[in-house]
Amino acid sequence: MFTTIFIWEIRYWLRQPSVYAYGLILLFISCATMAAHAGIFGEQRAVPGMEVLANAPLRLQEMAGFFFKLILFLVPAIIGGCISRDFKGNVHTLLYAYPMAKKSYLLAKFFSAFCVLVIIVFSLGLGFYIGARLPGADPGLVGPFRPEAYLQLYLIYLLPNILFFGAAVFTAVALTRNIYAGFICVVLLLFVQMLAGSLLSGPDSRFAAALFDPFGQKACFYYTRYWTFAERNELLPPVEAAVIFNRFFWLGVSAVVFAAGYWRFALHHYGYYRGRRRRQEAHGTEKNSGGMAIVELSGVRPGFSLRQHVRTTWRLSSFEFRYILSSRMFLSILAMGLLMVFFQQAEMNPQYGFRTLPVTWKMLNVPAFVFLGAVHLLTFLYAGMLVHRARSARCDQLVDSTPAPNWVLLFSKAIALIRMQVV
């Protein structure tokens, strides 16, 4: 059964235009970035002994670390989408009725999506190679092609990172059965990385920061921060204790996260929250049992004036706003943002070894910078969630049949987002 599901998923993804679009976009921007570093656009000119080569191993590591933060948002789309597609199409009730093992189903889903994402990420290295070989590149800024540098980049850094973040996103989407949980998971992991970096930014905590960085960049730069230009151009980043411990630590975290998701997941109609829903259903049945009650309905006088539409807009916005506030994903990001602001302001471990005075510009600058990113991300995510909420609950046709103008439904969601930003 594993082979059957795996091959089916691979064939499905190879038929999707989005996979090729992701690969081509990543190929183009990586090629353009390498071409810019190689001096094709005229921004740079080689200075002997004072420049890091565009395709030096350490430069490849730096550029790949930057692009991987963009690749992170492909993880929910590919790895999260492979498991949420069954719930979105409402075929999981039929699919889970087949006599298949949970192990075969989950492993086939995960590794098929993992392979597809790895194929997309291979376009990153291909773009680096092509960009360094384009006509017009400055020979003083481009070194010889070194396949071992690309091999180390993928085997030591990119593939383990995809495995860790993929396991976390896959577990979140499989348990919540909501693809937006995958994007929220990525955002939370980025906040955790930033929080760990701020807490361990002091000169005495560099080894700990190298160990707990999920991207592995600080583990690499732990050994290369004092390198000369010649060493940066000629040597491969060393794979020593900090790098090895970092990679094995996060691979172990990946295994634990995936095992926890495997244990909690069930081939069942209700999934992880089936017990809570059953209790609610039992409570509702017990409460309503005992005969039919006669209820006198009050008279309804429908109104379609502008005042009534405005009142409806506000009430709908309150309904959407309560949905946002009661969401665990929103509360998680909000709590993480508050923790980041707290530790930044407290300066638990100052970067330069001494504490600065809490002057006004400093106390306002850091929270504004940190929380502005959180507000933008929450607005981006919940705008899509509110728009597709009715469709996800399969009541969009019922909502469309209500005697309310389109602007009422639209402005209610916009007002809910504004209220969320204020909070």
Residue 293's pLDDT is 62
Are 326 and 414 contained in the same domain? yes
Neighbours of 222 (CB within 10 A): 21
Identify the band that residue 345 occupies on the pLDDT scale cut at 50, 70 and 90.
Answer: low
Q: What percent of the chain has pLDDT over 70?
A: 80
Nearest to 65 by CA among 251, 254, 216: 216
CA distance 153 to 147: 10
**Cβ atoms of residues 403 and 302 within 8 Å:** yes
CA distance 122 to 117: 9
- Final residue belonging to a domain, choices 251, 275, 299: 275
Are 134 and 35 contained in the same domain? yes
CA distance 22 to 31: 14
E strands, 88-179, are none
Neighbours of 113 (CB within 10 A): 24
**Cβ atoms of residues 333 and 378 within 8 Å:** yes
- Final residue belonging to a domain, choices 235, 251, 275: 275
The total of structural domains in the chain comes to 2
Are 99 and 246 contained in the same domain? yes
Are 269 and 172 contained in the same domain? yes
Average pLDDT, the chain: 80
Q: What percent of the chain has pLDDT over 90?
A: 16
**Cβ atoms of residues 306 and 407 within 8 Å:** no
Is 291 inside any structural domain?
Answer: no
Are 240 and 333 contained in the same domain? no
Nearest to 173 by CA among 87, 255, 269: 87
Neighbours of 249 (CB within 10 A): 16
Are 108 and 58 contained in the same domain? yes
Is 408 inside any structural domain?
Answer: yes
Residue 138's pLDDT is 78
Is 253 inside any structural domain?
Answer: yes
Residue 118's pLDDT is 93
CA distance 135 to 143: 14
Enumerate residues 6+ apart whose C-beta is below 8 A from 195.
Answer: 336, 339, 340, 343
Residue 379: which domain range? Answer: 307-422
End-to-end CA distance of the chain: 49
Residue 42's pLDDT is 67
Enumerate residues 6+ apart whose C-beta is below 8 A from 2.
Answer: 103, 104, 107, 108
Write phi, then psi, for 142 (nearest 5 degrees): -125, 130
> What is the residue-wise DSSP string for 318-344?
HHHHHHHHT-HHHHHHHHHHHHHHHHH
Q: Which residues of 323-358 are buried (b: 16+ CB within 10 A; e: fewer)?
A: ebeebebbeebbebbeebbeebeebebeeeeeeeee
Are 86 and 185 contained in the same domain? yes
To 5 degrees, how large is the angle CA 279–CA 284–CA 289? 130
- Final residue belonging to a domain, choices 252, 275, 298: 275
Are 386 and 261 contained in the same domain? no
Are 262 and 114 contained in the same domain? yes
Residue 410 CB-half CA count within 13 A: 3
Evaluate if residue 276 carries a pLDDT over 70: no
Mean pLDDT of 17-24: 92
Q: Give the 3-state secondary structure of residue 260.
A: helix
Are 97 and 54 contained in the same domain? yes
Identify the band that residue 26 occupies on the pLDDT scale cut at 50, 70 and 90.
Answer: very high
Is 77 inside any structural domain?
Answer: yes
Are 241 and 352 contained in the same domain? no
DSSP tag of 272: G
Residue 124's pLDDT is 92
> Which residue would you say has higher pLDDT here, 410 or 344?
410
Is 262 inside any structural domain?
Answer: yes
Are 107 and 241 contained in the same domain? yes
**Cβ atoms of residues 269 and 96 within 8 Å:** yes
DSSP tag of 43: S
**Cβ atoms of residues 137 and 38 within 8 Å:** yes
CA distances from 184 to 178, 179, 190, 334 (A): 10, 9, 10, 11
Mean pLDDT of 357-369: 64
Identify the band that residue 185 occupies on the pLDDT scale cut at 50, 70 and 90.
Answer: confident
CA distances from 303 to 143, 306, 403, 408 (A): 74, 9, 10, 14
Nearest to 69 by CA among 154, 161, 153, 197: 161
DSSP tag of 38: T
To 5 degrees, how large is the angle CA 114–CA 119–CA 123? 140
Mean pLDDT of 405-410: 84
Is 235 inside any structural domain?
Answer: yes
Is 65 inside any structural domain?
Answer: yes
Is 294 inside any structural domain?
Answer: no
CA distance 342 to 273: 33
Structure-block tokens of residue 123: 């376009």
This prediction's pTM: 0.76
CA distance 302 to 374: 41
